[in-house]
Amino acid sequence: MSEQPRRPRGTGKPYRRPQKDPVRMLAFEALRAVDERDAYANLVLPPLLRKAREKGDFDGRDAALATELVYGTLRRQGTYDAVIAACVDRPLREVDPPVLDVLSLGVHQLLGTRIPTHAAVSASVELARVVLGDGRAKFVNAVLRKVARDDLDGWVAKVAPPYDDDPEEHLAVVHSHPRWVVSALWDSLGGGRAGIEQLLEADNERPAVTLVARPGRSTAEELLGEEAAEPGRWSPYAVRLAEGGEPGAIEAVRDNRAGVQDEGSQLVALALANAPLEGRDEKWLDGCAGPGGKAALLAALAAERGAFLLASEKQPHRAGLVAKALDGNPGPYQVIAADGTRPPWRPGSFDRVLMDVPCTGLGALRRRPEARWRRRPADLDGFAPLQRGLLHTALDSVRVGGVVGYATCSPHLAETRAVVDDVLKQRPEAELLDARPLLPGVTDLGEGPDVQLWPHVHGTDAMYLALLRRTG
Ligand SMILES: C[S@@+](CC[C@H](N)C(=O)[O-])C[C@H]1O[C@@H](n2cnc3c(N)ncnc32)[C@H](O)[C@@H]1O
């Protein structure tokens, strides 16, 4: 006798158990965690993938597909929501979030991957049967069949307003960014349509993993000996891994002699370290050091000159990460947990100070697929006083003649120039330095004196750096 339960009389086909597809199940689980618990995809995914591998459910290709499904679905959520909204007969907020997650995953497979249409629909319906039940699976089936009638370009032409009618809304839907983010990025970037489109597209690409060879501890040549690595574009310490490259498999990374670090972050630390200085160059401060990427590079550079680095971070657990990142540094350093707006050190005690302040992170959207949907314009108001306070501390902490680097991983003008301008108005004893010559070889740095890097121009995160000298 068949073990399958019979379908109620008169409903046609016999009942078939839904097929559990481990890749889609895992992708759905990750999306639910991001949605329900405000989890970060890049933190949720690795342990899920590890568990699936240990259970024997997954090979490398499954892991790559699950990762692509989660990241792609989250990144393109704005476009996909507009498509789904055109295919359901009620407002999206009235669709249950788990149903919406299954639909988005399905739309991504249909419009954003090369998975054949029938496979994308049937895999999504099977997933829906497992995680939502047969009734809602029918709804998923009906919606995805409508979506499958056109490709991405066709849908975008239908659901986005024409560029000439509303450029920002058009770009928001086409490139899947919240409208206010499009607007803010465009304000900072300037220029016409081509540049902002390239930037928004770059935010939707997965960046290569970049390593830093910490000077004095490792070299780019050593890292280039690793399979499928190529030199970075700007930093002499940078090496890019090819797609699928595993930093954890590299001995120098395991030994802390090298680390994972975007080239933009490397350039910020290098520019501060290279700024000309008269007189003493012995004490450096990183006032917002967690999790420690720039501090580790600064500490290695300081060690080469016999200088000391104090790495300070407000959150004790993040100070712990800084200590790990600096472990084994050949020169003198100290890690402390301290609030940079109430510093425990004496004013004027440092020769170089980095303040890489907390910010919206709008410059690193390509790394955090869900971040653009979480941020709100009001977040800027929360950061504004802290960013100004921390820059004041930096200027208080540096000696006369010393240099301060004010950095953000956001290009939002409210977090970059506005902060520097406001603080400079109150601090006549400080002046802006031209940061551009301190990033040797880097092209397209604009009019200065501050520097804004861009993913689509420089291949880095959109890091901002202003260098200030204390003159009195
Ligand atoms: C943008 S992150 C710094 C990234 C770091 N420089 C790196 O390269 O790894 C900003 C850091 O500032 C810390 N922070 C926030 N408020 C602070 C405060 N009042 N004083 C010191 N650090 C603070 C945050 O916890 C966060 O770790």
Q: pLDDT tens across 328-363, in order? A: 999 999 999 999 999 999 999 999 999 999 999 999
Q: In angstroms, what is the span from residue 312 Cα to ligand 1's centroid?
A: 8
Among residues 449, 367, 439, 378, which one has the least CA distance to residue 409?
A: 367
Is 296 among the annotated ligand-binding positions?
A: no
The pLDDT of residue 164 is above 70: yes
Is 13 among the annotated ligand-binding positions?
A: no
Concatenate the DSSP letters of all residues of 7-43 into one string.
Answer: PPTTSSSPP-PPPP-HHHHHHHHHHHHHHHH---HHH
pLDDT in tens, 105-156: 999 999 999 999 999 999 999 999 999 999 999 999 999 999 999 999 999 9
Output the average pLDDT for the chain: 95
Largest CA distance in the chain: 92
Among residues 398, 368, 357, 195, which one has the least CA distance to residue 268?
A: 357
Check pocket membership of 343 for ligand 1, CB cut-off 6 A: no
Check pocket membership of 293 for ligand 1, CB cut-off 6 A: yes
Residue 240 phi, psi (nearest 5): -100, 130
pLDDT in tens, 189-222: 999 999 999 999 999 998 999 999 999 999 999 9
Is 190 among the annotated ligand-binding positions?
A: no
384 vs 379: CA distance, rounded Å:
9
Residue 461 phi, psi (nearest 5): -65, 160
Give per-residue burial for 262-283: e unless 16+ CB within 10 Å, then b: bbbbbbbbbbbbbbeeeeebeb
Asked about 87 being catalytic, the answer comes back as no
Spatial CB neighbours of 428, under 8 Å, sequence gap ≥ 6: 472
Q: Which of 288, 336, 341, 416 to mutate to test the pocket of ligand 1 (most atoms within 8 A of CB)?
A: 288
Spatial CB neighbours of 365, under 8 Å, sequence gap ≥ 6: 177, 181, 203, 371, 372
Nearest CA to ligand 1 atom 17: 314
Q: Which of 261, 285, 312, 313 to mutate to test the pocket of ligand 1 (most atoms within 8 A of CB)?
A: 313
> How would you class 64 by CB atoms within 10 Å of its CB: exposed for 0-12, middle for 13-18, buried for 19 or more?
middle
Q: In angstroms, what is the span from residue 257 Cα to ligand 1's centroid?
A: 22
Is 356 among the annotated ligand-binding positions?
A: yes
pLDDT in tens, 269-288: 999 999 999 999 999 999 99
Q: Which of 294, 312, 314, 342 to mutate to test the pocket of ligand 1 (most atoms within 8 A of CB)?
A: 314
Check pocket membership of 405 for ligand 1, CB cut-off 6 A: no
pLDDT in tens, 35-55: 999 999 999 999 999 999 999
Among residues 65, 409, 435, 457, the one annotated as catalytic is 409
**pTM (predicted TM-score):** 0.94
CA-derived radius of gyration, the chain: 25
Nearest CA to ligand 1 atom 16: 314
Question: Facing residues of 211 across strands?
Answer: 239, 260
Check pocket membership of 392 for ligand 1, CB cut-off 6 A: no
Check pocket membership of 290 for ligand 1, CB cut-off 6 A: yes
Is 313 among the annotated ligand-binding positions?
A: yes
Share of the chain above pLDDT 70, in %: 97
What's the confidence (pLDDT) of residue 6? 45
